[in-house]
Amino acid sequence: MERIKVLLVDDHPFFREGLRQVFEKEPDLEVVAEEADGRAAIQRAQELHPDVVILDINLPSMNGLQVTRELKNTLPNTAVVLLTAYHDEEQLIHSMRAGASAYFAKDVTPARLVEGLHHVHQRRWVIGEKVLDQEQMAAWLIEQLEEIATPGLGEGEPFSPLSRREMEILQHTARGQSNKEIARALGISQQTVKNHISSILRKLPVRDRTEAAVYALRHGWIRLEDTRRDQAPPS
């Protein structure tokens, strides 16, 4: 029997252990590695080429959406299943646009998660109770994007997840750093920081940088423990 190779990525050891125990009961599933950090997960995936990556959205160093985009760029045949403790429709759309094949709340039943894992390995997508093929998935995405009406966006302009650099700047913003401090920390100009912040405010349904930071925290893109001033590089 061909075994499906699975990489588990979550920064809580207890949760990872629970997932491992679930998967070890399945004769065709094999957990090949575990990681607790987004960047480390990308490196391990590139080494092992797993069939499926089970990925928490709320991770240290890089959030799950960033990791998903990077994985799909470098390992297009690896399916990504995203798990979240906070679910809403916007985050679901972000996840699927980033390249995820399935999206589940963390209270998903073991049987449902295992079923979803088998579906994504067979090149299907799982959204709620729906199991979609490639054509159906494309149609779903188009339908969702047409329905999005985000304040600050031009008519017909799609809602876009933040880039890696925008996420870095948003994390520094959440620490209360000024544009000057952010520019110094990242080795870029203050004008570049201003441009990125303007882009962030266009993409998110927020009015200012404080609301943007709160939005990112609420959606698990930034971890609360990473917003302390002592986490920032010295200015």
pLDDT in tens, 11-55: 999 999 999 999 999 999 999 999 999 999 999 999 999 999 999
Q: What is the mean pLDDT of residues 162-183?
A: 88
Query: Does 88 lie in the same domain as 47?
Result: yes
pLDDT at 179 over 60: yes
Q: Which of 51-60, 88-97, 150-159 has the highest mean pLDDT?
A: 51-60
pTM of the model: 0.71
Does residue 225 belong to any structural domain of this protein? yes
Predicted confidence band of residue 87 (pLDDT cuts 50, 70, 90): confident
pLDDT tens-digit readout, 57-70 = 988 878 898 899 99
Query: Does 168 lie in the same domain as 60?
Result: no
Query: Does 128 lie in the same domain as 48?
Result: yes
Average pLDDT of every residue of the chain: 86
Number of domains observed in the structure of the chain = 2
pLDDT tens-digit readout, 120-155 = 999 999 998 899 998 898 888 878 766 654 444 444
Which is more confidently placed, 148 or 173?
173
pLDDT at 101 over 60: yes
Cα separation, 145 vs 3, whole angstroms:
36
Residue type, 169: I
Query: Does 142 lie in the same domain as 172?
Result: no
Q: In this predicted structure, what is the pLDDT of residue 153?
A: 42
* % of residues, the chain, pLDDT over 90: 51
Question: What is the residue-wise DSSP string for the chain?
Answer: -PPEEEEEE-S-HHHHHHHHHHHHTSTTEEEEEEESSHHHHHHHHHHH--SEEEEESS-SSS-HHHHHHHHHHH-TTSEEEEEESS--HHHHHHHHHHT-SEEEETT--HHHHHHHHHHHHTT-EEETTEEE-HHHHHHHHHHHHHH---TTPPTTPPP-PPPHHHHHHHHHHHTT--HHHHHHHHT--HHHHHHHHHHHHHHSS-SSHHHHHHHHHHTTSS-GGGGSGGGSPP-
Query: Does 193 lie in the same domain as 117?
Result: no
Query: Does 24 lie in the same domain as 137?
Result: yes
Strand partners, 34: 8
Which is more confidently placed, 33 or 219?
33
Q: In this predicted structure, what is the pLDDT of residue 138?
A: 85
Q: Which domain holds residue 192?
A: 164-231
**Sheet with strand 79-84: strands edge to edge:** 29-35, 4-9, 52-56, 79-84, 102-105, 125-127, 130-132
Does residue 154 belong to any structural domain of this protein? no
Q: In this predicted structure, what is the pLDDT of residue 155?
A: 42
Residue type, 85: A
Predicted confidence band of residue 1 (pLDDT cuts 50, 70, 90): low
Q: What is the mean pLDDT of residues 91-95?
A: 86
Q: In this predicted structure, what is the pLDDT of residue 160?
A: 55
CA 92 to chain centroid:
10
Q: What is the mean pLDDT of residues 159-166?
A: 74
Query: Does 186 lie in the same domain as 138?
Result: no
